[in-house]
Structure 1
């Protein structure tokens, strides 16, 4: 049991290192040696856990999107009202300048390849399915509470909510200004509320 725990910790150490390396250098520049250097282990240790760079990156994308999904779901579950759930969802997505910068630098690299690499597309689809489930929960509860438009359907509205969130975060990232993070979060909330009340 102790051996299993240590091996899982080592895997997480390597994945964390891969995330940091990708965030700082980009997908194309990162090698197994880069990941090993960031993890402060030998390349052989990385090879022990992963067959190649692609295997590390596939597991990294699963790990990253899984962590974010779980965090967002937990934040939303703590709230009782549609507006509270929406605020919690957006607050969770807008984790902070440093966290959002690191994540979106890596995530955009993956998205650029998702249309050509089926496994990335499948992992990303699972992430967006989770996002859609949260958005559907917010929408349907808000419709029951009478604060969101009854004309809206989850199939068309749920993807738009995440599109607004991701769009605002990408626009913030491109601004290069950490001080605008809160303003983009507020604009995101206002835009989603306008969408849901239309």
Structure 2
């Protein structure tokens, strides 16, 4: 709400619609989701959805960008953070998620991965997921490159190492969601620490 006039701003309205979309997707799944279902999760009129979006597909595309932004914008490190600590922060955020007021990280990841599965037949949504994957991989690779330049890490292929870590993250999240292996994120973190991150240090 705007502090000056008590009216909803466009950003407020968008967030209300996005969170309502999340709740509706959690209940109905993507295949059976209707705009009406999203409207039932809002205190606002359903017409506000039609005002802002050209139907279900347009809304889901915006929702994908919204949920991706929640994760990409949630990693904060200062300039003094050493490369290993920054890698730990970034990997932990991907595996264990940020804190949310409503619904857990895994509630949100369940919706994310359902849309991820449908993206194989949807070029536009697949492009969004590819962009997210590339940014995640690049953020990890950049930290590794910085560590190499600082002499903290040995000389390795930072891009390939970043891709490996990103793939482990995706595999662990998929195993947790699809197979119900609740220990998958913790096991993945231990494996990344023991077999990948520890290998970055120069031999003594």
Using the size of structure 2 for normalisation, the TM-score is: 0.80
For 2:58 and 2:180, the matched residues in 1 are separated by: 31
Which secondary structure does the structure 2 equivalent of 1:115 belong to?
A: helix
In the TM superposition, 1:119-198 aligns within 5 A as 119-154=124-159, 156-174=160-178, 176=180, 180=183, 183-184=186-187, 186-187=189-190, 189-190=192-193, 191-193=195-197, 196=200
Q: Which of residues 48, 55, 65 in structure 1 aligns to 2:51? A: 48
Partner of 1:118: 123
| Bigger Rg, structure 1 or 2 | 2
For 1:36 and 1:147, the matched residues in 2 are separated by: 52
Task: Name which structure has the greater RCO, CA cutoff 8 Å, separation 6+.
Answer: 1
Alpha-carbon offset, residue 194 of structure 1: 5.2
Q: How many residues align?
A: 194
For 1:128 and 1:77, the matched residues in 2 are separated by: 23
Moved more, 136-145 or 15-24: 136-145
RMSD, aligned α-carbons: 2.9
Runs of 4+ aligned residues of structure 1 deviating over 3 Å after TM superposition are: 1-5, 76-79, 145-149, 174-178, 194-198
Unaligned 5+ residue runs, structure 1? none
Is 2:111 aligned against 1:109? Answer: no
Unaligned 5+ residue runs, structure 2? none
Would the alpha carbon gap of residues 100 and 43 (structure 1) be closer, same or farther in structure 2, given more than 3 Å must change?
same
Moved more, 168-177 or 62-71: 168-177
For 1:147 and 1:123, the matched residues in 2 are separated by: 34
Question: Is the 1:135–1:158 contact (alpha carbons within 8 Å) kept by the matching residues of 2?
Answer: yes
